[in-house]
Structure 1
Amino acid sequence: MFNESIRYLKDSDDAATTILVGGLLVIFGFLIIPAIVVEGYMIRVLRRVSEGDTEAPKFDEWTELFVDGLKALVIAFVYLLVPAIFAAVFIGGGAALSNNSGVLGGLIMALGALLTFVSGLAVWYALPAALVRFAEKNTMGSAFEYESYLPILRDREYATGWLIALAVVVVTGIIVSAIAVIPLLGWLVGVFLGFYAHVTASYIYGRAYAEADEHRLREGPEVEEGRPAV
């Protein structure tokens, strides 16, 4: 899976053009619309990979990319509301109570920090699957049909793919930080490398989801909940 993900964009017919356009969109992401288009492109990657298409998509049909990207950001925002609410209620509430009761306020803040961390990790793990499902069904509601993709989250292939994608992101971040010391050139290289890593991670998510779903369908109703991740 890892080797294929690295070659996914590099071996496509329009690799140079796609990387150039993607990097430029990231550079101008502060204008918001380019950043949304990039997210739409990632949804297109998830859709094609989950369907078994091995060719990286092009930047075309820009309106569709923008709409898909906007929907993906809304989905992500809704998912992130859970840890945000925990942080606001418990950590914020604990901080307010600490003025009157330092011990109680500290305990509530500690509980809030734990709940925020656990829920944030859960969202980080589940969100890629939710976005793949949205990409497949092309409806925002499908991203919140938890019972439909819960077996995917419990499958070993999805868990493995998620960890590989995490490694790609972490290693890329280290490389980008290392070359950032080169004035201007380091920053530019980092931007394009970051886009490439984003596409690579999206490929891994889409492939892991598809393989986990294939296991669920192949193994039949007796193991409807999928293979355990551990």
Structure 2
Amino acid sequence: MDIDQNIVNSLEYARSSWGKVATLGGILFVPFLILFVFIFIGAISNNGFVLGLLIFIGILIMLIAFFLANGYFFRVIKSTLAGLDEIPDFDDWGELLVGGLKVLVVELIYSIIFGILASIPIFIIFLVLGLIGSFLGIAGSIADASISPAVLAGSGVFIWVMYLGIFLTYLIMIAVGLLYYIVSFIGISNMAYQDNMGSAFAISEIRERISSIRWGKAIIWVLATYFVTLIAVLVSYILGLLLVGIIVVPIIIMPFLIIFLARSTGLLYLNK
């Protein structure tokens, strides 16, 4: 399946059951309402302990809702890998919580790994820039910078080197971001396919799967899903200005995007 077919299929899949989209939206939205009500009740109680307790309970409910949403994302991937074309039901809430927790752990671990991978070359770049700046500072202290063409030229070179360093930093962040997006999502899909959390970190299996998909195709998939997400963000912003977005965005757009992305991820993993 080409990427354009993947995207179209995933969009059609997500809109095949607005009821389930709204159910997922309710899971995401209701906890915010509960937290708002709890804060209001705590505020009018004039009791700091009661306010703090209600906020704690509200945040706990929001975390549970976040795990459930993550778990449903995982369930949609598993359903897609099983060859099912119908959006899965909301049942076995315990399984959803466990699945959501697994996805969160995988994402956190990969975030740390790729964060370190990005930090090393960026640190080296700014270390080199610091050394160049120190060298120019020493040169400026030896010669009168106001009359030394060499020092002035060196300062100009340093500015361009600094711009180059910033540009390289952005390139590194983009490259590592792409790798994180691809590897973590394929890792989560591999975990769903093998029904084993360790499979999310089976690097050889993940590398083999990405190779069968082809890196170029995977990168195009990232850009395509990012484009869909960007459109959703723009629509959400416009609806937010019209106030109707307060309801439509969390109830419809966000859950629609979650289901779309899960379906698209599963199809990419299957490479069909």
TM range (shorter): 0.7 to 0.9
One of 236, 243, 259 as aligned partner of 1:176: 236
One of 87, 94, 109 as aligned partner of 1:78: 109
Distance 1:189 1:138, change over 3 A: same
SS of corresponding position for 1:56: coil
Distance 1:186 1:90, change over 3 A: same
Which residue of the partner structure matches residue 141 of structure 1? 198
Relative to structure 2, which stretch is displaced further, 151-160 or 45-54?
151-160
Distance 1:3 1:116, change over 3 A: closer
Q: Does the 8 Å contact 2:122/2:172 carry over to 1? A: no
Gaps of 5+ in 2: 1-5, 33-58, 136-161
Distance 1:163 1:87, change over 3 A: closer
One of 20, 23, 28 as aligned partner of 1:21: 23
Name the % identity.
Answer: 22
Which residue of the partner structure matches residue 186 of structure 2? 129
Map 1:133-212 → 2, pairs under 5 A: 133-154=190-211, 155-156=213-214, 158-183=218-243, 185-191=244-250, 192-211=252-271
Which residue of the partner structure matches residue 216 of structure 1? none
Distance 1:54 1:161, change over 3 A: farther
CA distance in 2, matches of 1:3, 1:95: 43
The TM-score, its normalising length taken from structure 2, stands at 0.65
Residue 4 of structure 1: how far off its partner (Å): 2.2
Residue 113 of structure 1: how far off its partner (Å): 5.5
Spell out, residue by residue over 1:108-156, the C-alpha distance to the aligned partner (whole angstroms, 9 max, x if none).
x756665444222210122211111111112111011121122332324
Give the structure with the larger helix fraction: 2
Residue 64 of structure 1: how far off its partner (Å): 0.4
Map 1:96-115 → 2, pairs under 5 A: 102=133, 110=166, 114-115=171-172
The TM-score, its normalising length taken from structure 1, stands at 0.76
Distance 1:97 1:159, change over 3 A: closer
SS of corresponding position for 1:58: coil
User: What is the number of equivalent residue pairs in this alignment?
Assistant: 208
Residue 61 of structure 1: how far off its partner (Å): 0.5
Spell out, residue by residue over 1:139-177, the C-alpha distance to the aligned partner (whole angstroms, 9 max, x if none).
111011121122332324545544432222121111111
* 2:81 is equivalent to residue 50 of structure 1: yes
Which residue of the partner structure matches residue 67 of structure 2? 36
Counterpart AA for 1:194: M
Q: Does the 8 Å contact 1:168/1:201 carry over to 2? A: no
Q: Does the 8 Å contact 1:172/1:193 carry over to 2? A: yes
Query: Which structure has the greater CA radius of gyration?
Result: 2
Distance 1:7 1:130, change over 3 A: same
Which residue of the partner structure matches residue 13 of structure 2? 8
Distance 1:92 1:2, change over 3 A: closer
